[in-house]
Structure 1
Amino acid sequence: MTISMKVLFVLISLLLFSCSLRTEKSKDKVTTLQQAKLIKTESNKQVEKHDSWEERQDSLRNVLLESKSNAILKSDFFQEFYIRNLVKQVNDKIEFKLPFDLHSFDCGAPDCYSTNLSFEIPVKTPVEFPKQIICQFLEKGCVEKETAIQVKFELVENLPTYVNYYSKTAKSNLILIGDKKNSSIYYFVDVEPNSIKVDLINDILSEYDEENPNSIVPYRSWKMLTNEYENFLENK
């Protein structure tokens, strides 16, 4: 084989390899688009079957849950967080990213600023929350200056359907209630140790008085409070 023929052979091989890569990337893109289209199509079919708003939302939730692939995160505790894109598994860790963008009871839309807490726990079966977590704390939005710090929390309550962490440094409680559709998250600030218990939350919320400056108002998340599952169809 002459040198010119060898060069031509190498060029043809590179061209074929490049075409193959572009084809694979194209296939991946098509697959992703097909999956997104399928979920939308299935959700529309489900919606058409029901008359009431509640039935439609239940159907949309089922479609979203069926589209998820992680068996651990589809378990009872994580299920609603998983549907609402607040939790994901990365290697051997479960990552939580919690945007607390409701800081009062006077609105149903997110505030112009958000208090974001993120942390991770090891993947275990059954689920086991550690006695201590380190949260990445970020306050951003319409604030004079963004705040980014690390906050240590200690586990003070732990049952199959909820966990309650307290930070002595931040004087705050982070509470996660994982009970399928009845799941919730709360972040209580400026509270003393042992003053916030999960079984007291309903009383705290029902006794809230906006005229009382000492009333306890937990931070909450719009993503956890909205009842419209259409909001989570795009970002599976």
Structure 2
Amino acid sequence: MRVALVLVIYILFSCGEKKQEHKVVQKVTKEKEEVNQLKEKLLEEEQRLEKERKELRQKLLASKPDENLKNSLLAELYLRNLVHRHENTLGFNLVFDLHGFDCGAPDCYRTIIKFKIPYAAPISFPKTIPFSFIEEGCGIEKEISRTGIFQLQEESEIGVNYYSKSEQSNLIIQKEDTQTKLYYFPNIKEGKIQLKSLNQFIESIDETSEESNAPYTSGIMNMYDYSIFLQND
């Protein structure tokens, strides 16, 4: 009799455990399904936004008259009005408002580099470029303005790399997949930066170091909401 009672209790306990396990399995399965549904919704939203971005870019491209620029390394700069054609020259007005690796919010002061190059089809980058260097904004009581010469270090299908001996700096325009990167590296030794190893160089930068070579970048080049540029066009 005692053995039978123990057996009944064991069976009831086992059934209770199985029911509890079943509930846990159901809960985990439901949570997994909810996570998968959320992932699908996020993916659909990303695809929708990407489609919208491409459509807006095509609309912006159609609004720009210069086919030569639109099919060049400078296309994204042209779409953002950082490059303008003036008859037989191209004027560059490059604004760097991100000084180092931060959250992406523009700084309250700006570094501006201005220069011109001859207009050619296809676009050709000269060996040397006279430029103006300007810094203005908060923390700068009087606008800093000086001039220099950029010398062409590299030119390829993926970008151009210029160096200024007087400023000890590199100016780089680099095409990467569907994006175009614009960098200004201050306090750099000549020959230290090459296009083929640029990404590895950036990844190796320690911004906490006193000798950090973190680049200046442009907030406007990080913007891919082309509707903004359509409004300003």
| Amino acid paired to 2:70 | K
1:100: which partner in 2? 96
User: Which residues of 2 match residues 39-78 of structure 1 at below 5 A?
Assistant: 52-78=48-74
1:39: which partner in 2? none
| Amino acid paired to 1:62 | Q
Distance in 1 between residues matched to 2:68 and 2:225, nearest whole Å: 24
Aligned pair count reads 187
Distance in 2 between residues matched to 1:54 and 1:91, nearest whole Å: 35
Distance in 2 between residues matched to 1:73 and 1:87, nearest whole Å: 9
User: Which residues of 2 match residues 1-236 of structure 1 at below 5 A?
Assistant: 52-142=48-138, 143-178=140-175, 181-236=178-233
Shift in alpha-carbon separation, 1:180–1:78, aligned structure 2, 3 A = farther
Distance in 2 between residues matched to 1:191 and 1:219, nearest whole Å: 12
TM (norm. structure 1) is 0.74
Structure 2 unmatched runs, 5+ = 1-45
Distance in 2 between residues matched to 1:145 and 1:181, nearest whole Å: 39
* Residue aligned with 1:184, SS: strand
Which of 1 and 2 has greater Rg? 2
2:41: which partner in 1? none
Q: Give 1:104 shift.
A: 1.6
Distance in 2 between residues matched to 1:181 and 1:221, nearest whole Å: 17
More off after superposition, 190-199 vs 73-82: 73-82
Distance in 2 between residues matched to 1:203 and 1:137, nearest whole Å: 27
Q: Give 1:178 shift.
A: 4.5
1:4: which partner in 2? none
Distance in 1 between residues matched to 2:145 and 2:172, nearest whole Å: 20
Cα contact 2:100–2:207 (8 A) shared by 1: no
1:19: which partner in 2? none
| Amino acid paired to 1:98 | L
* Residue aligned with 1:202, SS: helix
RMSD (CA atoms): 1.8
**Percent of aligned pairs sharing the same letter:** 40
Cα deviation code 1:172-231 (max 9, x no counterpart): 001112468321110000011101111222112222333333332000000111222222
| Amino acid paired to 2:207 | E
Cα contact 1:187–1:218 (8 A) shared by 2: yes
Structure 1 unmatched runs, 5+ = 1-49
Cα contact 2:69–2:123 (8 A) shared by 1: no
Distance in 2 between residues matched to 1:65 and 1:126, nearest whole Å: 18
| Amino acid paired to 1:171 | Q
Cα contact 2:72–2:123 (8 A) shared by 1: no
